[in-house]
Amino acid sequence: MSILSGKNILLGVTGSIAVYKAIDLASRLTQAGANVEVIMTSAAAKFVSPLAFKSVTGKGVYKEEDLWGGEAHVLHVGLGHGADLLVIAPCTANTIAKIAYGLADNLLTITALAAQCPILIAPAMDAGMYEKPATAANVATLMERGVLFAGPEDGRMASGLAGKGRFMEPSKLMGHIRHALGMNGPLKGKKIVVTAGGSREAIDPVRYISNRSSGKQGYAIAQAAVDAGAAVTLITHPTGLPEPENMLVIQVDTAAEMLAEVEKATREGAHGLIMAAAVADFTPVNVSDQKIKKRDGFGQVQLTPTEDILARIALLRPTLPNLKAVIGFAAESQNLLENAREKLARKKLDLVVANDITASDAGFGVDDNRVNLLFPDGILDSLPLMSKEQVAETVVQQAIHLILKK
């Protein structure tokens, strides 16, 4: 179950042209299983109809008039009490100022003042407005009080001007909302290192040897660890996937670079290491510093084994008292369980997640995975076909168990 599933999200929308993007945000949240109720300011309702939000959420949309309607006694403070998170997106300079000063002159600002839940603000305003001393001071005041901010970003605004003030795209905002919901989760205060993608071993400045890993499973694990409250370092080979929010993302090309970054991040007090990357087992012995010309021919590419990252971590482990969970993946095309068990023992892992890469419906490139969890005590848990997000949640649950166990 995703962190958004069953969560009560109050979405406040204000009078910015970017409010049309909030319809997409409301839709994404609803599709992820959240109960989304929307509060519109009068200015927001001049840009889009409440019906647009109602159509995508299937839930109530509260407008300014509702503050003085028959439900006033409930709405007055009740909305902010029942919510898991109040997201104000887009948030105008005006509403930021009102909340900073404790003004409560409309349903949204009353709700913000009465809210018992965390508040996440995604500002949107034209070039110059965000950096004006008044707005900057209001934002600083709210940050000091623990209000969370997502954006704004640099870029082109609807007015044609460019600068800082652009509303964060809904796809990225989703990451901030997940982070806000999960920040007090079981891995709060814990560091998790996750690896993803397939490494690139250069032959010349243009060509490389790689593999079919898409990085989807590793990215999903990194997100699931953020959802559980962890401080996540994602060390990734190139994937083409959108850069995730609220984690430290380190891009590497080769197996040797991955090894150096994993060792560094793990030595910096990591509590868990989850290696979902498909790291090259071999690398070319000679790398040409010029592009090899077709007319000259390639000849043979001689390969040499790369250093095994998990074997290095196994050696270091006695010096890493924080490190309680080391989880590896085994992608095999034959003798799946036998090979995975051998890997578990040789690399002294706490868990190996084994998948058969010959299956057409699971594994490399696709959105689903069918995995087997193998534990050092010999227990085998064979899971059915699941989405990579579900596999990620399962793996992170195991990491939580290993990290928190006395």
Ligand X SMILES: Cc1cc2nc3c(=O)[nH]c(=O)nc-3n(C[C@H](O)[C@H](O)[C@H](O)COP(=O)(O)O)c2cc1C
Binding residues vs ligand X (CB under 6 A): 14-18, 41, 43-44, 92-95, 124-126, 129
- As measured in angstroms, the least distance from the Cβ of 34 to ligand X is 23
Contact criterion met (CB below 8 Å) for 165 and 126: yes
Angstrom distance (rounded) from CA 338 to CA 344: 10
Q: Which of 94, 106, 138, 211 is catalytic?
A: 211
- As measured in angstroms, the least distance from the Cβ of 17 to ligand X is 5
Contact criterion met (CB below 8 Å) for 187 and 154: no
DSSP, collapsed to helix, strand or coil, labels residue 71 as coil
DSSP, collapsed to helix, strand or coil, labels residue 86 as strand
Considering beta carbons, is residue 20 or 375 the nearer one to ligand X?
20
Considering beta carbons, is residue 112 or 252 the nearer one to ligand X?
112
* 216-227 vs 170-182: helix crossing angle, rounded to 10: 50
- As measured in angstroms, the least distance from the Cβ of 157 to ligand X is 7
Q: H-helix or E-strand containing 222?
A: helix 216-227
Considering beta carbons, is residue 110 or 125 the nearer one to ligand X?
125
Nearest Cα neighbor of 200 from 187, 190, 192, 210 is: 210
- As measured in angstroms, the least distance from the Cβ of 170 to ligand X is 16
- The two three-digit tokens of residue 226, written as one number: 């953020």
In 177-307, which ranges are E strands? 191-196, 201-202, 208-209, 231-236, 248-251, 272-275, 282-284, 303-305
Considering beta carbons, is residue 110 or 399 the nearer one to ligand X?
110
Considering beta carbons, is residue 165 or 215 the nearer one to ligand X?
165
Nearest Cα neighbor of 172 from 112, 246, 63 is: 246
Considering beta carbons, is residue 98 or 343 the nearer one to ligand X?
98
- As measured in angstroms, the least distance from the Cβ of 86 to ligand X is 15
- As measured in angstroms, the least distance from the Cβ of 365 to ligand X is 40
- The two three-digit tokens of residue 128, written as one number: 């110059």
- What is the DSSP-derived secondary structure letter of residue 378? S
Catalytic residue flag (residue 372) = no
For the stretch 68-76, contacts whose Cβ atoms lie closer than 8 Å and that sit 24 or more positions apart, written own/partner, are: 75/107, 76/110, 76/114
Q: What residues are annotated to the active site?
A: 211
